[in-house]
Amino acid sequence: MSDKTLVRRGRRRFLNFVGATLILSVTPVSAAPARPTLLAVRVWPADEYTRVTLELDAAVRFSHFTLEAPDRLVVDIEGIEFNATLKGLADKVATNDPYIKLLRAGQYKPGVVRLVMELKTRVRPQVFTLQPVGDYGHRLVLDVYPEVPIDPLLALLQEQRDIKAPPGKEIRLDDAPPEEEAPAAASVKDDGKTASNARPHETATSKTPPKSANGKLKRLITITLDPGHGGEDPGAVGRGGNREKTVTLAIARRLKNKLERETNVRVALTRDGDFFVPLSARIQKARRVQSDLFVSIHADAWIKPEARGSSVFVLSEKGASSSAARWLAQKENNADLVGGVNINVKDPFLARTLLDLSQTATKSDSLRLAKLVLGELGGVNRLHKTRVEQAGFAVLKAPDIPSILVETAFISNPEEERKLADEKYQNQLAEALSRGILRYLTQNPPAAGKSPIA
């Protein structure tokens, strides 16, 4: 090999070495991944359970355990920054929270924040994560349930009769109080105005809730009212900031008061506060108290603010009556995703609830109820559709209870949003719903007895 060849090869090796050195020198050093940051903490207290939600900008790993004397729930969260939001945890818990005494957090060890929940009683905790959905990021959820779950049937009886069950005795629905004369209906203040779209045949007599032939309903009637959404799930939000969950609860409370003026009528609410109730649990509550009717109350929303009017829906298994009804049902059925359901908890009741949806009588009764309620709503608000609509709402799938879903008005419509937030208008809606329900009960009196449901 000649000297010139050796020189050429040496020059090439040198240039390759220099090039590699230059390439290496400009390669950036990868930055360490940012730690998840806690964005918000929300606490939703209720008699049934209290939920604590920690919202973060990324997923986290965690572990949890309980301690006794005193009772505590401890959650260790890995890789999270200890920030001002965590420091202010104690301010998030109300003094009247039924289960949580205090919530605090601290840096347990490098890279781990420990959250300690001091409890007022023994609980059954559930700790789980939720993926981002809607306006929410990643969520870590701490649900604390009482060690002995609240029985909705007993709670309803205690509310109605202010009694406690004797030791060893189960209170049943047929332990009805003696019949009494119906109390005089409370007067409703009239502003002298008539709705522009009131039906021509509307008369003063139709404003009086109907009675059965002897002035009383023949047996104790239980109605479950279901205010839509709640807690982590606000439902639709109007441009003025009014939330569907707030409006529906206000209307449901007014309707409950009106219905319970009637002798032998009592009303259960699926929620009587601002907390989340899964769709299956709403059905379960209605069946546990052996309801004769189930009425779910909502405030509609649409992508365009011009949409307006009231609607009433019944269950459809084969398909929605319109594309809008299909879209609405899908939106309402997504409530569990927004509100947050622990998918690791299996609900055997739900499987039983959805076993058989073929009862023709229940479907027919639902349609009769829906038509009467829709007719009464037409006296206080224009109707979005003049016929009862059908869609696959999960909350209407109780096979043995006539069930309807009422969209009181469009909260996405600025004018109707203002009306929905008005107490006077809420009262008018409740009056219309009450008239429709009571007319149904008068025209279709339930059977004399109803078998208990375990």
DSSP H helix total and E strand total for the chain: 11, 14
CA-to-CA distance for 149 and 121, rounded, in angstroms?
13
Which tens digits make up the pLDDT trace of 260-310? 999 899 999 999 999 999 988 998 999 999 999 999 999 988 888 889 999
| pLDDT of res. 156 | 85
* Residue that wins the pLDDT comparison between 94 and 168: 94
| Residues paired with 106 in a beta bridge | 114
- Give the pLDDT score at 333: 63
Q: Is-cis flag, bond preceding 45, omega within 30?
A: no
Report the Cα 139 to chain-centroid distance in Å. 17
Tell whether 317 and 285 lie within a shared domain: yes
The residue ranking higher by pLDDT, 362 or 257, is 257
State the pLDDT at residue 301: 86
Residue after which a domain boundary falls, among 88, 113, 146: 146
* Whether 423 contacts 191, CB under 8 Å: no
The pLDDT, as a whole number, for residue 122 is: 95
The Cα 63–Cα 76 span in angstroms is 5
Residue at 359 is within a domain: yes
Q: Is residue 360, in this structure, part of any structural domain at all?
A: yes
CB 166 within 8 A of CB 154: no
What local confidence, expressed as pLDDT, does residue 450 receive? 55
Confidence of residue 354 (pLDDT cuts 50, 70, 90): very low
- Range in 160-174, 334-348, 357-371 with the lowest mean pLDDT: 160-174
Give the pLDDT score at 134: 87
Question: pLDDT-based confidence at 249, cuts 50/70/90?
Answer: very high
Cα distance between residue 117 and residue 123, in whole Å: 11
CB 443 within 8 A of CB 435: no
Confidence at 49, pLDDT banded by 50, 70, 90: very high
In a domain, 411, yes or no: yes
Distance CA 55, CA 37 (A): 9
Is 346 domain-assigned? yes
Same domain, yes or no: 245 and 303:
yes
- Binned at pLDDT 50, 70 and 90, residue 411 comes out as very high
Of residues 339 and 379, more confidently modeled: 379
**pLDDT digits 0-9 by tens, 156-211:** 887 876 534 443 333 333 333 333 333 333 333 333 333 333 333 333 334 444 45
CB 202 within 8 A of CB 427: no
**Per-residue pLDDT, 448:** 62
Do 274 and 303 lie in a common domain? yes
- The reported pLDDT for the residue numbered 445 is 85
- Domain check: are 315 and 278 in the same one? yes
With a pLDDT cut of 90, the percent of the chain lying above it is 51
Shared domain check, 107 and 161: no
Number of domains in the chain: 2
Of 224-238, 252-266, 392-406, the one with minimum mean pLDDT is 392-406
Rounded to whole angstroms, the Cα distance separating 46 from 413 reads 31
Alpha-carbon distance of 172 to 454, in angstroms, equals: 11
Angle at 151 between CA 286 and CA 157, to 5 degrees: 80
Q: Determine the pLDDT at residue 251.
A: 98
CA 225/CA 429 separation, integer angstroms: 14
Query: pLDDT tens digit string along 16-42?
Result: 544 444 444 444 555 556 788 999 999
More confident residue, 174 or 442: 442
Spatial separation of the C-alpha atoms in residues 421 and 412, rounded to whole Å: 12
The answer to the question of residue 11 being in a domain is no
In a domain, 398, yes or no: yes
Confidence band (pLDDT; 50, 70, 90) for 377? Answer: very high
How far apart, in whole angstroms, are the C-alpha atoms of residue 350 and residue 347? 6
Question: If you search the block for the tokens 């107490």, which residue do you land on?
Answer: 423
Mean pLDDT of 386-405: 83
Do 270 and 207 fall into the same domain? yes
Same domain, 138 and 256: no
- Does residue 215 or residue 132 have the better pLDDT? 132
The reported pLDDT for the residue numbered 13 is 55
Strands 389-391 and 265-269: unpaired
pLDDT of residue 303: 84
For residue 124, the enclosing domain spans 38-146
Q: Are 119 and 157 in a shared domain? A: no
CA distance 28 to 66: 46
The yes-or-no verdict on residue 414 having pLDDT over 50 is yes
Comparison of pLDDT for 116 and 8, the residue scoring more? 116
Between 63-77, 175-189, 271-285, 382-396, the lowest mean confidence (pLDDT) is in: 175-189
Query: How much is the pLDDT for 362?
Result: 81
Going by C-alpha positions, the residue among 419, 454, 179, 446 that lies closest to residue 294 is 446
CB 280 within 8 A of CB 374: no
- 38: amino acid identity, one letter: L
User: Helices 423-443 and 244-259 sit at what angle, rounded to 10 degrees?
Assistant: 50
Do residue 262 and residue 365 come from a single domain? yes
140 and 74 in one domain? Answer: yes
Instruction: Identify the domain boundary among 146, 165, 185.
Output: 146
Same domain, 209 and 139: no
The pairing of strands 112-119 and 100-109 is: antiparallel
pLDDT on residue 31: 56
Q: How far apart are CA 437 and CA 209, in angstroms?
A: 9
Residue after which a domain boundary falls, among 95, 119, 146: 146
Domain check: are 226 and 105 in the same one? Answer: no
